[in-house]
A and B are shown apart, each in its own frame.
Chain A
Amino acid sequence: MRSETIDLRGHIIDSLTLPKVLDSILTEGGNFKIIDIKIGQKRADQSCARIEISGPTPEKLDAMVLRLRELGAEVTKVPDSQASSAQPNPAS
């Protein structure tokens, strides 16, 4: 099954962007795997998550990715063989 990997960065916990992204994936019939997540430790710290997503069809996966980009997700090119060891960009 085709998959894509996205990075999500920002105040994604306080803004509820992370649960929103995950809910959006499930609602559209997709699945996700959180490859890595770093939660900001201080109030102003941003968090980041790398998520591998798959969809029921390639078309639905493309539509899903389009919607997730509107929510701030950046598509990351990670070869499938390296996906599980991939690390997101450090939070700033």
Chain B
Amino acid sequence: MRNLLLCPPDHYGIEYEINPWMSRARGADTPLVQAQWKGLHDTLSKLDAQIDLVPPQPRLPDMVFTANAGLTVGRRFIPSNFRHQERAGEAPYFARWMQEHGYEIVWLPQTLYFEGEGDALFGADALFCGYKFRTDINSHRAVADILGCLVISVELVDPRFYHIDTCFCPLSDGSAMWFPGAFDEYGQRAIRDHVSNLIDVSPEEAACFSCNAVVLERDIVLPEGAPKLVATLTGRGFTCHPLPMTEFLKAGGACKCLTMFLPQRESCAA
């Protein structure tokens, strides 16, 4: 059983533009937002997951994307230091909720941008961390100091895939699915060195945010629009649960962005 943190989309909307997906001229359809988020919530609830909800806050529309709240390992929570002022107000609400639920809060220096699980995913033998668009590489070093784990830092080069969780998704069997074009050549090599059996996602299916998936052992909850990837995963014994995510894609997010693991790992040795 995995514990997950979600945030109801009561205040979600496209109210600013901080990534290439966002356009205030292309707002979210509120009834569809509610239906798609409920679809995710209900799907995860029926799988091996227990869901906690953090209360949404007015004027913080992206708080729905809980993956960016921080990184949880065991009972320690490292809150995000958001790069964009538009999201900085989320951090104290997430930190307070985590503290109230018994987690030790370990802040990074304020000078280091770090966007939580959005840019930090455990896979195979390491914590894979993305940098450039949102997270600073120097924050990776600080996270490694705190957790005492191997951190593989990879540079993101395509602004559409501004967090690592939009283009890389570790699977429960030690493999991973990814869109190689989102990484520079060194990042691609570093990932290949540490993850065997990588599943390449096509540019078309990657653009549907198909790597932005929630993996619960053999179940994978991912956005609709990636039939080839679903066929590949099914062939490898996974059960895929494609969901409509159109309204969240308008903000550059999907299933994984809407979900944070509590914790992502019990320890770095796991």
Q: Using a CB–CB distance below 8 Å, which chain A residues touch chain B?
A: 9-11, 14-17, 19-20, 43-44, 46, 70-72, 92
Contacts and interface: CB of A to CB of B under 8 A. Distances in A.
Interface in B79-95: none
Contacts of B193: 14, 16
10 contacts: A10-B137, A11-B144, A11-B152, A14-B152, A15-B153, A16-B186, A43-B125, A44-B144, A72-B153, A92-B145
B145 to A, nearest CB: 6
Contacts of B187: 16
- Most chain B CB within 10 A, of A44, A46, A92, is at A44
- Most chain B CB within 10 A, of A15, A17, A72, is at A15
B153 A11 contact: yes
Given A10-B140, A16-B189, A16-B190, A44 B153 contact: no
B153 A17 contact: yes
B148 interface: yes
B137 A44 contact: no
Interface in B165-204: 186-187, 189-190, 193-194
Contacts of B152: 11, 14-15
B144 A19 contact: no
Given A16-B193, A43-B125, 14 more contacts: A9-B141, A10-B137, A10-B151, A11-B140, A11-B144, A14-B190, A14-B193, A15-B190, A16-B190, A17-B153, A44-B268, A46-B141, A72-B138, A72-B141
A14 B132 CA distance: 18
Contacts of B153: 10-11, 15, 17, 72
A9 B153 CA distance: 12
A17 to B, nearest CB: 6
Contact of A44 (B149, B186, B189): B149
B126 interface: yes
- Most chain B CB within 10 A, of A11, A14, A70, A72, is at A11
Interface string B101-116: 0000000000000000
B139 to A, nearest CB: 10
Contacts of A11: 140, 144, 150-153
B141 A20 contact: no
B144 A14 contact: no
A10 to B, nearest CB: 4
Interface in B211-270: 268
A10 B126 contact: no
Nearest to B152: A15
B141 A15 contact: no
